[in-house]
Structure 1
Amino acid sequence: MARNTHQKDTIREALRERSAFISAQQLHQQLEERGERIALATVYRQLNALADSGQVDTVRMGGEQLYRYCGADGHHHHLICTSCGRTVAIDPPSESWLRSVTAEHGFTLQSHTLEVFGLCPECQAQDGDA
């Protein structure tokens, strides 16, 4: 059973305050700015433990691993803004669609992950102003 530590609690709370994905380095910097003394390696280790336990979502974007608190709301998917990182949970594709696509290509469905990347309305508006 995974232990709860002050460091894990601090990281979990910092993630709860955000709706967007964040890198381990950005989170570490944010924690240091608050006066928390946590090593970067500890941030990585705790984020991975939280991801393994299903409390944190993780995606790869722009060549780096990003993390976001997801709580215990089960399997879900996201729209992710590639500019600001804003994240919105979306309904998954239907199970029948997933099975038909995998069968069409001779695969059997074992699991799936769906992340959709684009620009949120605010970032689209900013791009239009440039």
Structure 2
Amino acid sequence: MCSNHPDVRVSPIFPVTDLDRALEHYAALGCVVSRHDEGYGFAAMAGVELHLVVTADHDPLRTAAAAYLHVPDADALAARWAGVPSTGAPVDTDYGLREGAHVDPDGNLLRFGSPLASGT
């Protein structure tokens, strides 16, 4: 599964209960969104593509998904997403990253982080 081949990509699949709401939410985050059909859509930004699939029995406490975004500047991304509910401000970690998080309306988690600046 792991490969150094440049054509290998990953697209996390996030379960959602309402595709229209999910597409609107990810558009508010700055993603380019599209729909495959009534039950499947996409949200893409900066080379990352999330697949959004309507899942009738989705329970955010049991079946939510997560993805980690390695970004150049966690604070800049948090500022871009600040107007969208459920975006947490980044904090410095003891393992050398500055990390924040965002939870979508279906409980799916987008964690994001960037390396701490030298000397912090």
TM-score range, shorter chain: under 0.3
Q: Which has the higher strand share?
A: 2
TM-score, normalised via structure 1 length: 0.24
TM-score, normalised via structure 2 length: 0.25
